[in-house]
Chain A
């Protein structure tokens, strides 16, 4: 058996604290979703980094094409009015 064939790749997202968003922290091989959650817990959250784990099969993720980078992302850069940066946030608002 080759694990490449039978153990698909899963991407792992961990939420470190309640209120924050899930962050992609890596990937792993696992036979199915339940085992992927268990193994993600062992591999990525053993030092209490997390409160919640998402796993998703890597082949379910659709990524943007690097070739489209200019078209997709560049036009925003020189238009400051697109960015809400002219407000000062109160100190009590975290994680923005």
Chain B
């Protein structure tokens, strides 16, 4: 079995990986919908979004890999995706949760797309020219993801009794994972101070304002604040994460260095 790679602890790299891993793991979850969505057209829409997110993850992992190696030796996107252990994955816990029913999926998409859109908007001004270029492309995709997901949140929330109940259940289950997005820490601080990108905590008010608007259109209320804090972006994941990586990394681990 192929051994895992070790990254040096660099706050800039960790900042990039949080974003890259969030895109990658959400893409993996959306990929699970292929062939299972409520209707053919939405099946295509969900997998299109997964492909956008894979593209964003690839660009970010490539950039992170250039900066992440020990003594000048970088890693490529495949090494970072397939040869990191759970504790070195820094995605938000929200994206690793099972995709649940369609209401869970579209609410999570709306929550994440809103965050990503706000991040990409600001990352266009990143001091890292490469990251700024990635952001300029990705922000267009995120805007579409947000609009499409938000439309579904409104349709289900303000739909039938059944769809409303499901959207409320999704809101109850997923909302508590949003607090993690905005918890300030040293990685954020470093990014803000060095001009790499915005502190995620700076986006809290804007994110809440946009989500409140979407939920209001769906005749829903955001749940009250909770003391619960997930910590996926610090490498401490839910019990779901190991299964995702086992499935995702199996082939690369079993056939080390395989070319594909």
Give residues in A with beta carbon < 8 Å to B: 3, 7, 28-31, 34-35, 38-39, 41-43, 46
Cβ-defined contact, B44 with A42, below 8 A: yes
Q: Give the chain A neighbours of B39 by CB distance below 8 A.
A: 3, 7, 29
Cβ-defined contact, A38 with B48, below 8 A: no
Cα(A32)–Cα(B42), bound, Å: 13
Cβ-defined contact, B44 with A38, below 8 A: no
Q: Give the chain A neighbours of B144 by CB distance below 8 A.
A: 41
Q: Give the chain B neighbours of A7 by CB distance below 8 A.
A: 39
Given contacts A34-B151, A35-B155, A39-B44, 10 further A-B contacts (CB under 8 A): A3-B39, A28-B40, A30-B41, A31-B155, A38-B148, A39-B42, A39-B45, A41-B144, A42-B45, A42-B48
Cα(A53)–Cα(B42), bound, Å: 18
Cα(A30)–Cα(B148), bound, Å: 13
Cα(A29)–Cα(B42), bound, Å: 10
Counting contact residues on chain B (CB < 8 A from A), the size range is 10 to 19
> Which residue of chain A has its CB nearest to the CB of B48?
A42
Main secondary structure of the interface of B (DSSP, over half): helix
Cα(A38)–Cα(B40), bound, Å: 13
Does chain A have a CB within 8 A of B85?
Answer: no
Would you give the shortest CB distance from B62 to chain A, in whole angstroms? 23
Q: Give the chain A neighbours of B44 by CB distance below 8 A.
A: 39, 42-43
Cα(A32)–Cα(B148), bound, Å: 13
Q: Give the chain B neighbours of A31 by CB distance below 8 A.
A: 155
Interchain Cβ contacts under 8 Å between A and B, 10 examples: A28-B40, A29-B40, A34-B151, A38-B147, A38-B148, A38-B151, A39-B45, A42-B44, A42-B45, A42-B48
Given A31-B155, A34-B151, A38-B147; A46-B48 close (CB under 8 Å): yes
Q: Give the chain A neighbours of B148 by CB distance below 8 A.
A: 38
Kindly supply a per-residue 1/0 record for chain B positions 26-70, scoring 1 wherever the CB is within 8 Å of any chain A CB and 0 otherwise. 000000000000011110110010000000000000000000000
Give residues in B with beta carbon < 8 Å to A: 39-42, 44-45, 48, 144, 147-148, 151, 155
Q: Give the chain B neighbours of A41 by CB distance below 8 A.
A: 144
Q: Give the chain B neighbours of A39 by CB distance below 8 A.
A: 41-42, 44-45
Cα(A35)–Cα(B151), bound, Å: 8
Given A38-B148, A46-B48; A29-B155 close (CB under 8 Å): no
Would you give the shortest CB distance from B118 to chain A, in whole angstroms? 21
Cβ-defined contact, B151 with A28, below 8 A: no
Greatest chain B CB density within 10 A among A3, A34, A39, A46 is at A39
Given A34-B151, A38-B148; A29-B41 close (CB under 8 Å): yes
Cα(A41)–Cα(B40), bound, Å: 14
Cβ-defined contact, A28 with B155, below 8 A: no
Q: Give the chain B neighbours of A35 by CB distance below 8 A.
A: 151, 155
> Which residue of chain B has its CB nearest to the CB of A38?
B148
Would you give the shortest CB distance from B73 to chain A, in whole angstroms? 37
